[in-house]
Structure 1
Amino acid sequence: MIGWEDVYKVVAAMAPLYFALILGYGSVKWWKIFSTQQCDAINKLVCYFTLPLFTFEFTSHIDPFHLNFPFIAADAIGKLIIVLVLAFWTKCTTKGSYCWSITSFSLSTLTNALVIGVPLAKVMYGEMAVDLVVQGSVVQAIVWLTTLLFVLELRRTGLDLVAAGDSSGSVSDEKTVQVGGEGEKDLEGEGMEGEERRSSSKSRRPSLKPLMKKVWVKLAGNPNSYACTIGFAWAFVAKRWDVEMPSIMEGSILIMSKAGTGTAMFNLGIFMALQEKLIACGPTLTIVGMVLKFIAGPAAMAIGSVAMGLHGDVLRVAIIQAAVPQSITSFIYAKEYGLHADVLSTAVIFGAIVSLPVLVAYYAALEFIVH
């Protein structure tokens, strides 16, 4: 069972994050150091420099020859379950939304495993659990965060192309048209008015070829889209042929990557300071976000784990790591691409605050349920 000393270790690992967050918040709210334009520049610094180098650095140290493939497959099944549920919600219900499906996927599946999950896993189940959490983080960076980046770029590029093709410019607002978002508050309606809105939206959608071409060009210029892949490729070479990274290269990467988490939390504090309310998205969306994070995500992971035959501590780790608080990276992407950054910021902050008692409750419950 977790003791007070173990709880202190977890809190001690999380405290520096909030120190950086408070500094970012105070720099705008109290000390008025940064302007709005400068805040946007800081977000770009995090998104295009410190974050990709941080991702490359931790990915490059994994051992690709000793991965727990049933664990990784269970994680993939859990995430695909969420994708299928959201796809059904988007296509088959009047409340369904392409944009909210993207955000809901982030809320229910993407975790801050390296910062919070690793120290928590270590005090709960030891080094075995740490190794599993790191493996899950690498797969998240390579597959799921890259996929998130792709759909966000697809959405923004589609909106840009539609806006450029409309002489009045009235469709540049995402409330007017969403790429693939037939279920959107703007396309709802009854009778002929609703049909006209849907028809207008479809007619304004860009053709697939120019859309995909522009998306791939933009992704090629975004280091986040390939930092994790290059890091994993280096890990494969290093472990296969026992090669060490040249010290000059490793030092150049480390000097920026070590700033990754700190600058991300600092940027989150800045975003909070720019909002009218501390809980930017309001209580209702906050509750929805917590349900997705702490209930829907672990439930989907439990189904995937049982399907892959996981048992014992591996099954416990799989479920608990799915309930780890929101990924900071998902907030950075949401802010950069202008999609529900208020919801993601609240999920990161509030999720980290309530995560400790929730995760300890999961730990205690799984000790009795899982054998």
Structure 2
Amino acid sequence: MITGEDVYKVIEAMVPLYVALILGYGSVKWWHIFTRDQCDAINRLVCYFTLPLFTIEFTAHVDPFNMNYRFIAADIISKVIIVAVLAFWAKYSNNGSYCWSITSFSLCTLTNSLVVGVPLAKAMYGQAAVDLVVQSSVFQAIVWLTLLLFVLELRRAGFNTNSKEENINIEDGRKDIAVVGEQKSFVEVMSVVWLKLATNPNCYSCILGIAWAFISSRWHFEMPGIMEGSILIMSKAGTGTAMFNMGIFMALQEKFIVCGASLTALGMVLKFIAGPAAMAIGSIAVGLHGDVLRVAIIQAALPQSITSFIFAKEYGLHADVLSTAVIFGMLVSLPVLVAYYAALEFIY
């Protein structure tokens, strides 16, 4: 049963994020501290330094030998369902778009597990639920965010996956005509993509983190103080600088709700309905039940991952939609998640 004190703990975890957001917004909109070029530099700082070190920090302290693999399997099945639906839509629908499929995947699947999920899961189901949420977050960092980076690099490398991308409808009725350059071979594109991924710290940070987790759990090693201190000094700034950067992005836009009401509503539907529905199917398919089933569905309905916005901004793909999803998702997530909690009490 969630008490008023539990709700306060969740709010206590979320409010500092909005403080960082407001400071970032004010630094550009009110106080004119940063230029546009400086704002781009801040995004790159977050993307290539604070977030990778944040990833190393939380993945290095999990126990990979004591994970709920059926829970992980349910997560994989849910993502496969979403990818299959989006791929079918992109290929066969007249309105299909591979670029929008990438963004829709982010909206449906990538969650803010550590900031919102941990205190909420503990309030709802105790420490066992926290362990599951952390496992989900680690798997997200290692697999799904790496997959997202792969397709974003593939898109940046100039691989024209679908000629329908040439005509994309915008809010105001205009047509955005994509510029299609000289086609590269599949081999050339993949060479560029793998090279970019190999030099992207967001890829090998999670590998380093989980590698240390295996070593420390197997042989009971503790990370040397010098190493841990070196990681912590930047990783502690990860979430705060990401929210600060989002505030900067909002300040550079003409409108506060930069993607419009219809896309905002679509983002909320994908986040709070489509994602949990796919997770419910995956969970039932592998035989989850009881509190594990409830946690699986609730963690899929957590608000949008801040990292997904940072990547969208860096790669120039619908950053307006992702920023709005993060902001509004955290605003409406608490009542939505409490409603899920109440409804799931009737499930065995």
TM over 0.5: yes
Give distance in 1, aligned partners of 2:66 and 2:153.
Answer: 33
Per-residue displacement from partner, 1:78-133 (whole Å, max 9, x unpaired)? 01100000010011111110100000000000000011111110100000000000
Which of 313, 317, 321 is residue 335 of structure 1 equivalent to? 313
- 1-structure distance, mates of 2:67, 2:323: 32
Alpha-carbon displacement from aligned partner over 1:219-258 (angstroms, at most 9, x marks no partner): 1111001110110010000010111111111100000000
The Cα shift of 1:184 comes to: 2.5
Structure 1 partner of 2:71: 71
Q: What's the CA shift for 1:185? A: 5.9
**Which residue of 266, 272, 275 corresponds with 1:297?**
275
**Code of the aligned partner of 2:157:** T
Identity, in percent, stands at: 74
Query: Does residue 325 of structure 2 align to residue 344 of structure 1?
Result: no
SS in 2 for 1:151: helix
Partner of 1:139: 139
Name the aligned partner's letter for residue 269 of structure 2: V
Match of 2:245 among 267, 276, 295: 267
- Tell me how far 1:2 sits from its aligned partner: 1.2
Give 1:239's aligned amino acid: S
| AA in 2 matched with 1:129 | A
Distance in 1, Cα, partners of 2:98 & 2:224: 45
Find the aligned partners of 2:46 and 2:166 in 1 and give their Cα distance.
Answer: 33
Mapping of 1:38-53 within 5 angstroms? 38-53=38-53
SS at match of 2:275: helix
> Are 1:6 and 2:3 counterparts?
no
Alpha-carbon distance, 1:204 to partner = 4.1
Secondary structure (helix, strand or coil) at the match of 1:65 reads: helix
Residue type of the alignment partner of 1:89: W
CA displacement at 1:301 relative to structure 2:
0.1
Corresponding residue SS for 1:226: helix
Equivalent AA in structure 1 for residue 334 of structure 2: L
| Worse-matched range after superposition: 133-142 or 241-250 | 241-250
Matched, 1:182 2:160: no
The match for 1:256 is 234
Amino acid at match of 2:126: G
The residue number in structure 1 matching 2:33 is 33
Q: Which residue of 1 aligns with 2:302?
A: 324
Of 217, 236, 245, 2:223 maps to 245
1:288 aligns with 2:269: no
Distance in structure 1 (CA, Å) of the matches to 2:53 and 2:146: 15
Partner of residue 172, structure 2: none
Using the TM superposition, give the Cα deviation of residue 187 of structure 1 relative to its aligned residue in structure 2, in angstroms. Answer: 8.1
SS of the equivalent of 2:167 reads: coil
1:353 aligns with 2:331: yes
5+ residue gaps, structure 1 = 160-178, 189-196
- The equivalent of 2:54 in structure 1 is 54
Equivalent in the alignment of 1:84: 84
What is the CA RMSD across the aligned residues, in angstroms?
1.6
Structure 2 SS opposite 1:31: coil
Partner of 2:284: 306
Report the Cα offset of residue 181 of structure 1.
Answer: 2.4
Q: Which amino acid aligns with 1:305?
A: S
Give distance in 2, aligned partners of 1:91 and 1:7.
Answer: 43
Distance (whole Å) between structure 2 residues aligned to residue 297 and residue 363 of structure 1: 16
| Equivalent-residue separation in structure 2 for 1:220 and 1:143 (angstroms) | 15
**Is 1:234 aligned to 2:202, yes or no?**
no
Give the aligned residue type for 1:92.
Answer: Y
Cα distance in 1 between the residues matched to 2:133 and 2:214: 19
Letter in 1 for 2:190: M
**Structure 2 unmatched runs, 5+:** 170-176
Distance 1:80 1:115 in 2: 26
Deviation at 1:63, TM superposition (A): 0.1
